Amino acid sequence: MKKNKIKLESVNLHYASVAYKERSLKSLFSAAFKKGKAERSVSDIHALKNITLEINNGERVGLLGHNGAGKSTFLKTVAGLYPISSGKLIVEGQVRSLFDLSLGFEPDATGRENILYRGLLLGLSPTFMKEKENEIVEFAGLGEFIDYPIKTYSAGMQVRLAFAISTTVGGDILLLDEVIGAGDANFMAKAKSRISQLIENAEILILASHDFGALKEICHRGVVFHHGEIVFDGDMPNAIEYYRSINGLFL
């Protein structure tokens, strides 16, 4: 039996602060040519600080923390989207993540063409995506719009298509960032049902959320982040109480 595992040993992650100040590569390069060296010196943002954590097969882990505490950064680091600055990261098992749902869409291509593009980003083969195309189109419920360019879609339509693609196949390790708002009540019911199925089938689940009810229902272990550090790791009820105490939240 395959053993899935996530292990971090003294992991640190730094961002260059310039990444927050510039909104495009064009403005970044433009600023670089206009400013002198002294003016262009950038300080790093220490996003994850000395993180040591191990998550094993069968665990359902909830992440708590204020906005900017490091929850999403942690998930993206585990998913392999952010390279660590120091320390050691081991991820054993196939990872599936549900965040940044609009990532990988080509605005001028149709929804049907984007099914293939996004599938490739997820590491899935063109043959597999072709086999799953009808299922994805039906689940997204976009009708004739599936053959329209993505740039004509509303934000909700894009999320519905991205969700349908991303959840077509599960994985050993499932990473979720908040509850996904994906459209009308009928679609939300389908989305919640599919997420429940993915959670049930995953060997490891990590859920970042501010929804205490969902965390209590789904997760047995809670990890609290505060300014990039892990400040609590224990059972979920105590994790919630600890999070409340450090953020001044009382019933």
- Does pLDDT of 22 surpass 50? no
Please tell me the predicted confidence (pLDDT) of residue 91.
96
Domains of the chain, CATH where assigned: 5-93+208-246 (3.40.50.300), 111-202 (no CATH)
In tens, the pLDDT along 148-196 reads 999 999 988 888 898 898 888 888 999 998 756 555 677 878 888 888 8
At residue 38 the predicted structure's pLDDT band, cuts being 50, 70 and 90, is very low
- Identify the residue whose tokens are 């000395």: 50
- Does pLDDT of 104 surpass 90? no
Neighbours of 117 (CB within 10 A): 16
- Does pLDDT of 122 surpass 50? yes
Instruction: Strands of 57-108 (E only): list them.
Output: 60-64, 86-92, 95-98
- Does pLDDT of 36 surpass 60? no
In tens, the pLDDT along 140-149 reads 999 999 999 9
Report the amino acid identity of residue 126: P
Higher pLDDT, 206 or 166: 206
Neighbours of 73 (CB within 10 A): 21
Please tell me the predicted confidence (pLDDT) of residue 20.
47
Which residues fall within 8 angstroms of residue 156, CB to CB, at 6 or more apart?
A: 182, 183
How many residues are there in the chain?
A: 251
Please tell me the predicted confidence (pLDDT) of residue 226.
96
Average pLDDT over residues 123-149: 93
Average pLDDT over residues 77-96: 93
Lowest mean pLDDT among 2-6, 49-53, 111-115, 140-144: 2-6
Please tell me the predicted confidence (pLDDT) of residue 55.
97
Higher pLDDT, 2 or 9: 9
